[in-house]
Structure 1
Amino acid sequence: MTASPSQKLLSPEEIAVRAGEQLSFLHLPEPGVFAERALRLRALAEGHAMRDFLLFVAELADAQHRALSAGVNLPLPTPDDVEAAARAGLPLLPADGPAPWPRAAVWRDALRGLLADLARHVAPGPAQETARQLAAASDEHLETQAGRLLSGVMLGLDLAAAPLIAAGLQLHWVRLVQQAAKAHAQGPIAPFGRTDDPTLCPCCGSRPVASVERLGGEGARYLACGLCAAQWHYVRVKCTHCQGTKGISLQSLVAQDEAVANTQPAVQAECCGECGHYLKLMHPARDNGLEPVADDLATVTLDLLVSESGLQRHGVNLLLLFGEPDEAPPPGREH
């Protein structure tokens, strides 16, 4: 079919925008999000250099799933809060910022329950001991570590305990988003919508862990939140840091196995030559079962490859942080 002389030919960018108008903007976390993550982690762990760590995170995800299934009622924003956030163009449940949605004390109780459950399911060793020590830590210590983790402050952050704190925060925000969505489903204003910064999660304001070409949406790209697990639509071939469309390129690992050398990689790094940042782009159609947080953990080698060229990672995975913070105080004591 050819275009008539008066018919305007759309650019790829315009086609993407129009496609976005016809797609669901937001996909909220499903009840089985942690169970699916655990399943994927175990599949990825087979023969992987990080096998032990991936299996540990799988146990952690299983504990998160059991805790989420138990159900805990949380303090929720009011209709006035929903309206205020919408008018300001801000996420309703920001995890960090000048005026973050307060972490209700119940998150610490849930974390301690999560840690106790985890300690019963992992073999005796450092991981089990860390879980038990953290469960016995003071409220002040937990809150301080959580604040540092959410704000990206590495100074004084206990890297050994950080994945456990992160798991508790993920559990809290997934539960919070699910309950807020249900509570305000019939309200005059949707609790979660487009915000002024399309690069941040419209639910909790966090940076994405990766972007995903969702199945069933003609390859539409969604950004995946590493905290609350929501996914929101974002135009393809557009930097997720500076929002520019120039200088975008894809990098991927070279397959060593001849059987897969000629296949398209399921995980790539979308790099921006303008601002020097990158975010992983994942293709579930090329690898059934792909899960953003799990597959991000399993492709750390790609991060190392891209960082060698001087690019900085835009996304954040709270379960695996990079850095060399000063020595952290033991659980229960802050300096």
Structure 2
Amino acid sequence: MTASATVRVMSPEEIAARAGEETPFLHWPQRESVFAEREMRLRQLARGHAMEDYLGFLARIAHQQQGLLKTFPSVPLPDAQAADRAARAGLPLIPAADWPRDPAWRQVVRDMSQALSQEVAGKAAEVLSTLADADEVFLERQADALLHGLVTGLDLATAPVVGAALQVYWTHMLLATRDLHQGQGQPFGRIDDETVCPCCGSRPTASVTRSAGESLGQRYLHCSLCGLQWHMVRIKCPHCLSGKSLAYQSLTGSSGDSDSAAATAKVQAETCDDCGTYLKIVHTDRDPFVDPVADDVASVTLDLLVAETGKERHGVNFMLLFGDGGGDPPPDQGGQ
């Protein structure tokens, strides 16, 4: 497989015409289905994939996430005064780096690890059993490393499960805060840094082109932590905001697929020559079941090929972490 440049983004005039004030700024994860839909997509992608075992294991994680999100206990949430202060300062309301984490998130790690350890075998079961008994210091240090984007001290073997627990916690806080402030105004909105999540300040995993309603054809960035999606016009690089040198890369067959065939790819890498970064983009108009997290993992070959051109990955995916070789890889047992 090779990486091949395809069509460029729409003209500024066309995008401006389609990105009027009627375009919703935010799209919310659905508490009843967000991780269940990801599980379904992971199982679909796993069939016959070179990473079938790992994608199947991630599907098991997503299954646990959905159940734990539904039963997540009450935790402290930002009040109206905190929302007002954050809005005035142009800052995220529940910042990943600074929010005082409630111990409830650690119980999610333990419950998830215990359940998963019963479904896998070998080294993976040992890792998960150890994680289920991990102490507070270890878990909080792992959370700090993940939420600050640090590799030093990060245990790559347990990072997907720790990251999954943090996703459940922040997704719950996002939705519970929205519901708490219902009728009092929207607690989440635009912040000064449009490249990070308006809720938690995390970087996106990928971007999504939406295919329905008022958002038809619009690009949204998908938060790597809380799952919130926020609108950004497609003439801007999601990292440096430049609109001068954006292009798309996709996986095409070695037999020489045409640019028009590549332009129908469900997953592409949006590259920027100005800052030298790329972010995956998934297209729901080409496949309504694409999921930013699942399809990002399944298209890791695209990362490897784009990296060969010197571009650096901008997206963050707790299920697809690239370390310095100092730790074990994530557990890959469990199949589908």
Q: TM-score, normalised by structure 1?
A: 0.89
Q: How does 1:312-331 map to 2 (within 5 A)?
A: 312-324=312-324, 326=326
Partner of 1:27: 27
Are residues 1:253 and 2:230 paired? no
Partner of 2:15: 16
Are residues 1:240 and 2:233 paired? no
C-alpha separation in 1, matches of 2:20 and 2:308: 34
| 1:306, distance to aligned residue in structure 2 (A) | 0.5
User: Greater CA deviation, 54-63 or 71-80?
Assistant: 71-80
C-alpha separation in 2, matches of 1:58 and 1:297: 12
User: Greater CA deviation, 162-171 or 65-74?
Assistant: 65-74
C-alpha separation in 2, matches of 1:22 and 1:239: 22
| 1:218, distance to aligned residue in structure 2 (A) | 2.4
| 1:76, distance to aligned residue in structure 2 (A) | 0.7
Q: 2:207 aligns with which of 203, 208, 211?
A: 211
Q: How does 1:80-99 map to 2 (within 5 A)?
A: 80-96=81-97
Higher alpha-carbon Rg: 1
C-alpha separation in 2, matches of 1:118 and 1:72: 21
Given that 2:221 and 2:232 are in contact with CA atoms closer than 8 Å, whether structure 1 keeps it comes out as yes
C-alpha separation in 2, matches of 1:20 and 1:51: 42
C-alpha separation in 2, matches of 1:199 and 1:14: 22
C-alpha separation in 2, matches of 1:71 and 1:108: 12
Given that 2:35 and 2:63 are in contact with CA atoms closer than 8 Å, whether structure 1 keeps it comes out as yes
C-alpha separation in 1, matches of 2:80 and 2:16: 31
| 1:136, distance to aligned residue in structure 2 (A) | 0.5
C-alpha separation in 1, matches of 2:101 and 2:27: 23
Given that 1:267 and 1:281 are in contact with CA atoms closer than 8 Å, whether structure 2 keeps it comes out as yes
Are residues 1:262 and 2:258 paired? no
Are residues 1:138 and 2:135 paired? yes
| 1:71, distance to aligned residue in structure 2 (A) | 3.3
C-alpha separation in 1, matches of 2:157 and 2:202: 22
C-alpha separation in 1, matches of 2:167 and 2:123: 22
C-alpha separation in 2, matches of 1:22 and 1:173: 28
Q: How does 1:18-97 map to 2 (within 5 A)?
A: 19-31=19-31, 32-96=33-97
Q: 2:85 corresponds to which letter in structure 1?
A: A
Given that 2:114 and 2:128 are in contact with CA atoms closer than 8 Å, whether structure 1 keeps it comes out as yes
C-alpha separation in 1, matches of 2:39 and 2:150: 28
Given that 2:250 and 2:268 are in contact with CA atoms closer than 8 Å, whether structure 1 keeps it comes out as yes
Q: 1:123 corresponds to which letter in structure 2?
A: V
Which structure carries more relative contact order (alpha carbon 8 Å, separation 6+)?
2
| 1:12, distance to aligned residue in structure 2 (A) | 3.6
Partner of 1:128: 125
Q: 1:181 corresponds to which letter in structure 2?
A: R
Which segments of 5 or more consecutive residues in structure 1 lack a partner in the other structure? 1-10, 329-335
Question: Root-mean-square deviation (CA), in Å?
Answer: 2.0
Partner of 2:176: 179
C-alpha separation in 1, matches of 2:39 and 2:316: 19
Q: 1:76 corresponds to which letter in structure 2?
A: L
Q: 1:247 corresponds to which letter in structure 2?
A: S
C-alpha separation in 1, matches of 2:22 and 2:219: 13
C-alpha separation in 1, matches of 2:123 and 2:138: 20
Partner of 2:104: 106
* SS of corresponding position for 2:59: helix
C-alpha separation in 1, matches of 2:125 and 2:90: 43
Give a deviation string over 1:40-61, Cα, whole Å, max 9, x none: 0000011111100000000000
Give the fraction of aligned pairs with identical amino acids, expressed as a percent.
48
Given that 2:250 and 2:267 are in contact with CA atoms closer than 8 Å, whether structure 1 keeps it comes out as yes
Given that 2:156 and 2:327 are in contact with CA atoms closer than 8 Å, whether structure 1 keeps it comes out as no
C-alpha separation in 1, matches of 2:186 and 2:108: 28
Q: TM-score, normalised by structure 2?
A: 0.89
Q: How does 1:219-298 map to 2 (within 5 A)?
A: 219-255=217-253, 262=261, 264-298=264-298
Give a deviation string over 1:83-121, Cα, whole Å, max 9, x none: 00000001101101xxx111111111122112222223x
Which segments of 5 or more consecutive residues in structure 2 lack a partner in the other structure? 1-9, 329-336
User: Greater CA deviation, 286-295 or 52-61?
Assistant: 286-295
Q: 1:199 corresponds to which letter in structure 2?
A: T
Q: 1:250 corresponds to which letter in structure 2?
A: Y
| 1:257, distance to aligned residue in structure 2 (A) | 8.2
Q: 1:119 aligns with which of 95, 117, 120?
A: 117
Give a deviation string over 1:272-312, Cα, whole Å, max 9, x none: 01110110111111123100000000000000010000000
Task: Tell me how many residue pairs correspond in the alignment.
Answer: 313
Give a deviation string over 1:11-63, Cα, whole Å, max 9, x none: 94355345242111001211211000000000001111110000000000001
Partner of 1:299: 299
Give a deviation string over 1:223-242, Cα, whole Å, max 9, x none: 00111111110011310110
